[in-house]
């Protein structure tokens, strides 16, 4: 088992991480346990958790409907209501068992209930293991804007048990792997070289890869929890990627976050090249690798128009300046403000 030290808590990784969970539960003597899960994790993950952490058999289970469209204040009302009705107090613990929707929403509910109670994350998807559950960003979507209402509140611990990945499809593994590629590209060239040697999708989610990706993200978050500077690097591929995700969701197209981010990284690498942040060779290396894993996304004229609207309104911009987190060579990063609209249009049409 690997243990990574975050700002004020530990991240335990490996199939022995639930030994650490049992120690954590015994040591902390919470008054009530609440397990927050969705329909999927209720069925596929909760039985494993209760078997491996028997103390939690006395927990109240709060089961939410699955889906990003349930990441709302209405769902928070439901959870705050359930906590209140069952007598939750300041010494209660919320256990977020699920992907990013559960840890974002559960973390937000915990950070606001009675001005803040403890929560822990038990991520069950590769995407939440390597990204969403780490770093203390919590929140819900509001009026169609992703993560518009939220807090920065770190969990008391994270327990990453790869056993949960066994129920995930190849598509879901690739969904999380896009964030692994991103962190390598902006933070560690040696990790990038290691990724390029992997041959099968099953290797994308090995304990070694997960541990390295989490360690890199954690080292960035530790230096800049509130995203004043360095943490912005985690947005590489996300200006265009998030816009693409929002545009395709609006059109009811089937798109996963990681698939949109993969396309976003290709287009943002295309922006980084003329700005001399990466060489043509590096751009080709990035693009070829991502294309070898993710299928091409069709960008229609309608999508392109929507994309540009989302990009112009992105909260990552500073005033009128369009800001992009770009690689500065492979394995390093620079925030580049003042990216011209023409360059973005060209990157989209060349995709
Ligand atoms: N997912 C980006 C961040 O945690 O900052």
Q: Is 139 helix (H, G, I), strand (E, B) or coil?
A: strand
Q: 234 in ligand 1 pocket by Cβ < 6 Å? A: yes
Angle 248-251-252 (CA atoms, 0-180°, nearest 5)?
90
Judge contact between 148 and 141, C-beta under 8 A.
Answer: yes
Distance CA 105, CA 96 (A): 9
Sign of CA dihedral 73, 64, 151, 90: positive
Distance CA 289, CA 275 (A): 21
Q: 248 in ligand 1 pocket by Cβ < 6 Å? A: no
End-to-end CA distance of the chain: 41
Domain over 170-350 is classified CATH 1.20.1090.10 = yes
CA distances from 176 to 69, 95, 256, 258 (A): 19, 21, 10, 6
Q: CATH code for 2-167?
A: 3.40.50.1970
Q: Please name which of 220, 243, 228 lies closest in space to residue 304, comparing C-alpha atoms.
A: 243
Q: 242 in ligand 1 pocket by Cβ < 6 Å? A: no
Which of 131, 136, 150, 183 is the best mutation target for the ligand 1 pocket, counting ligand atoms within 8 Å of the beta carbon and taking the most? Answer: 131
The region of weakest confidence among 37-51, 104-118, 120-134, 318-332 is 318-332
Q: Whose CA is nearest to atom 2 of ligand 1?
A: 234
The secondary structure element, H or E, covering residue 334 is: strand 333-337
Distance CA 281, CA 275 (A): 14
Distance CA 62, CA 49 (A): 14
How, if at all, do strands 92-98 and 32-38 pair? parallel
So what's the pLDDT on residue 180? 98
Kindly state the average pLDDT of the residues 6-30: 97
Q: Is 326 helix (H, G, I), strand (E, B) or coil?
A: strand
Q: 131 in ligand 1 pocket by Cβ < 6 Å? A: yes
Judge contact between 259 and 294, C-beta under 8 A.
Answer: yes
Distance CA 247, CA 307 (A): 6
Band of residue 297 on the pLDDT scale cut at 50, 70, 90: very high
Judge contact between 239 and 262, C-beta under 8 A.
Answer: no
DSSP string, 29-61: --SEEEEEEEHHHHHHTHHHHHHH-GGGGGPEE
More confident call, 67 vs 313: 67
**Across-strand partners of 138?**
151
Atom of ligand 1 nearest to the CA of 227: 5
Sign of CA dihedral 281, 285, 291, 294: negative
Name the burial class of residue 207, with classes exposed (0-12), middle (13-18) and buried (19+) by CB atoms within 10 angstroms of its CB. Answer: middle
CA distances from 245 to 82, 164, 242, 258 (A): 32, 25, 5, 9
So what's the pLDDT on residue 314? 73
pTM for the structure as a whole: 0.96
Report the separation in Å between the CA atom of 58 and the middle of ligand 1, taken as the mean of its atom positions.
33
Atom of ligand 1 nearest to the CA of 235: 2
DSSP 8-state secondary structure symbol assigned to residue 274: T
Say if residue 315's pLDDT is above 70: no
Atom of ligand 1 nearest to the CA of 131: 1
Give the model confidence (pLDDT) of 249-290 as tens digits.
889 999 999 999 999 999 999 999 999 999 999 999 999 999
Say if residue 320's pLDDT is above 80: no
Band of residue 152 on the pLDDT scale cut at 50, 70, 90: very high
Report the separation in Å between the CA atom of 135 and the middle of ligand 1, taken as the mean of its atom positions.
7
Q: 179 in ligand 1 pocket by Cβ < 6 Å? A: no
Q: Where are the beta strands (DSSP E) in 75-216?
A: 92-98, 118-123, 137-142, 145-152, 157-160
**Across-strand partners of 348?**
none
Give the model confidence (pLDDT) of 228-258 as tens digits.
999 999 999 999 999 999 899 889 999 999 9
Which of 6, 137, 257 is the best mutation target for the ligand 1 pocket, counting ligand atoms within 8 Å of the beta carbon and taking the most? Answer: 137
The full set of domain ranges for the chain reads 2-167, 170-350
Q: 135 in ligand 1 pocket by Cβ < 6 Å? A: yes
Q: Whose CA is nearest to atom 4 of ligand 1?
A: 135
Distance CA 118, CA 110 (A): 6
To the nearest 10°, report the CA torsion of 296, 298, 299, 302.
Answer: -160
């Amino acid at each position: 088992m690997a243990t990574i030290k975050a700002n004020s808590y530990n991240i335990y990784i490996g199939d022995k991480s639930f030994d650490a969970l049992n120690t954590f539960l015994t040591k902390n003597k919470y008054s009530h346990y609440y397990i927050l899960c969705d329909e999927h994790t209720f069925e596929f993950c909760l039985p494993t958790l209760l078997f491996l952490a028997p103390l939690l058999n006395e927990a109240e289970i709060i089961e939410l409907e699955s889906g990003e469209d349930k990441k709302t204040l209405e769902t928070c009302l439901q959870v705050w209501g359930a906590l209140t009705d069952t007598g939750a107090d300041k010494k209660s613990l919320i256990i977020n068992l699920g992907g990013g929707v559960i840890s974002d929403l559960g973390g937000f509910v915990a950070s606001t209930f009675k001005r803040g109670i403890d929560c822990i994350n038990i991520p069950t998807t590769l995407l939440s293991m390597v990204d969403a559950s780490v770093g203390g960003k919590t929140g819900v979507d509001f009026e169609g804007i992703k993560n518009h209402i939220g807090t920065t509140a770190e969990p008391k611990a994270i327990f990453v048990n790869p056993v949960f990945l066994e129920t995930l499809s190849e598509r879901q593994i690739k969904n999380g792997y896009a964030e692994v590629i991103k962190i390598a590209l902006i933070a560690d060239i040696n990790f990038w070289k290691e990724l390029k040697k992997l041959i099968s999708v099953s290797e994308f989610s090995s304990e070694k890869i997960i541990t390295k990706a989490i360690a890199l993200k954690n080292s960035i978050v530790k230096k800049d929890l509130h995203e004043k500077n360095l943490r912005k690097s985690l947005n590489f591929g996300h200006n265009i990627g998030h816009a693409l995700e929002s545009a395709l969701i609006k059109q009811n197209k089937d798109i996963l976050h990681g698939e949109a981010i993969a396309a976003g990284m290709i287009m943002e690498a295309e922006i980084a090249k003329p700005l001399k942040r990466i060489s043509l060779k590096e751009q080709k290396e990035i693009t070829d690798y991502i294309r070898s894993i993710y299928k091409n996304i069709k960008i229609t004229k309608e999508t392109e128009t929507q994309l540009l609207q989302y990009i112009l309104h992105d909260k990552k911009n500073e005033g009128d300046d369009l800001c992009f987190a770009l690689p500065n060579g492979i394995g390093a990063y620079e925030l580049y403000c003042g990216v011209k609209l023409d360059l973005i249009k060209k990157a989209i049409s060349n995709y």
